[in-house]
Structure 1
Amino acid sequence: MKVITLDYPISAPITTKKVILTLGFFDGVHIGHQKLIKDAKLIAEQKNLPLMVMTFDKHPKEIYNNDHKFVYLETEREKEHKMEKLGVDYLVIIKFTKEFSQLSPQDFVDQVVMKLKADTVVVGFDYTYGPKDIANVENFPKFAKDRFKIVVEPKQAIDKIKVGSTYIRKAIQHGNVELAAELLGQPYETSGVIVHGFRRGHKIGFPTANLEISDSKVLPAEGVYATRAKINGKWHDAMTSVGYNETFKTNHGLTIETNIFDFNEEAYGKPLTLAWYKFIRKNKKFSGIEDLSHQLDQDKCDIKQYFYKLKN
Structure 2
Amino acid sequence: METIHLRHPYQSTAHLDSPIVVALGFFDGVHLGHIGVLENAKRLAEQQGAQLGIMTFYPHPKEVLGKQPEAFRYLTPIPEKLSLFEQHGIDKAFIVEFTPEFASLSKEAFLDEILSPLCVTGVSTGFNFTFGRYATGTPDDLQVLGKNRFETVTVPPIMQQDQPISSSRIRAALSNGEIALARDMLGRPYRVKGNVIPGDQRGRLLGFPTANIRLEQPYYYPKLGVYIVDVWVPDLQLRSFGIMNVGIRPTFTHTEPDIRIEVHLLVQDLDLYGKELVVDLLHFLREEQRFPSFEHLKTQINQDRKTADDWIKQEAQANKQVPFQIY
TM-score (norm 2): 0.90
- Paired position in structure 1 for 2:39: 38
Counting only pairs closer than 5 Å after superposition, residues 1-312 of structure 1 correspond to structure 2 as 1-12=1-12, 14-67=15-68, 68-131=70-133, 134-213=136-215, 216-231=218-233, 232-249=236-253, 252-312=257-317
Q: Which amino acid is the alignment partner of residue 152 of structure 1? A: T
CA-CA distance at 1:201 after TM superposition: 1.0
- Indicate if the aligned counterparts of 2:231 and 2:279 stay in contact, CA closer than 8 A: yes
Deviation at 1:174, TM superposition (A): 2.3
> Matches of 1:81 and 1:223 in 2, distance apart?
28
Cα RMSD (Å) of the superposition?
1.8
CA–CA distance in structure 2, aligned partners of residues 160 and 304 of structure 1: 33
Per-residue CA deviations over 1:66-89 (Å, capped at 9, x if unaligned) read 535221112211011000000111
C-alpha distance in structure 2 between counterparts of 1:241 and 1:165, whole Å: 24
CA contact (8 A) 1:123 1:151 kept: yes
Give the secondary structure class of the aligned counterpart of 2:315: helix
Map of 2:325 onto structure 1: none
1:6–1:38 Cα change, 3 Å = same
SS at match of 2:117: coil
- The percentage of counterpart residues that share the same residue type is 31
TM-score when scaled to structure 1?
A: 0.94
Residue by residue, what CA displacement relative to the aligned partner does 1:166-193 show, whole Å, maximum 9, x if unpaired? 2112221222222111111111111111
Gaps of 5+ in 2: 318-327
Measure, in 2, the Cα distance between the counterparts of 1:161 and 1:196.
43
CA–CA distance in structure 1, aligned partners of residues 44 and 217 of structure 2: 38
Q: 1:22 to 1:297 in 2, by over 3 A?
A: same
Q: What is the DSSP-based 3-state SS (H/G/I as helix, E as strand, rest coil) of the residue aligned with 1:115?
A: helix
Whether the 8 Å CA contact 2:190–2:281 is kept in 1: the answer is yes
Q: Is the 8 A contact 2:23 2:124 kept in 1?
A: yes
- 1:139 is paired with a residue whose SS is helix
Q: Distance in 2 between matches of 1:249 and 1:168?
A: 31
Q: Is the 8 A contact 2:191 2:278 kept in 1?
A: yes
The more displaced of 296-305 and 100-109 is: 296-305
Is the 8 Å Cα contact of residues 105 and 133 (structure 2) preserved in structure 1? no
Structure 1: where are the runs of 5+ without partners?
none
Between 1:183-192 and 1:210-219, the stretch displaced more is 210-219
Question: Offset at 1:14?
Answer: 4.3
Map of 2:320 onto structure 1: none
C-alpha displacement of 1:47: 2.2
Q: How far is the alpha carbon of 1:247 from its aligned partner?
A: 2.1
Distance in 1, matches of 2:217 and 2:34, equals: 24
Aligned length: 312
Secondary structure in structure 1 of the residue aligned to 2:130: coil
The answer to whether the Cα contact below 8 Å between 1:229 and 1:235 also exists between their aligned partners in 2 is yes
Instruction: Output one character per residue of 1:104-132: Cα deviation in whole Å (capped at 9) or x when no partner.
Output: 10000111111111111111111111246
Structure 2: how far apart are the matches of 1:81 and 1:214? 15
Mean Cα deviation higher: 89-98 or 59-68: 59-68
* AA matched with 2:245: S
- Cα distance in 2 for partners of 1:249, 1:91 equals 45
* Greater mean alpha carbon deviation, residues 136-145 or residues 261-270: 136-145
The separation in 1 between residues aligned to 2:136 and 2:263, in whole angstroms, is 48
1:213–1:255 contact (8 Å) kept in structure 2:
no
* Bigger shift: residues 191-200 or 251-260: 251-260
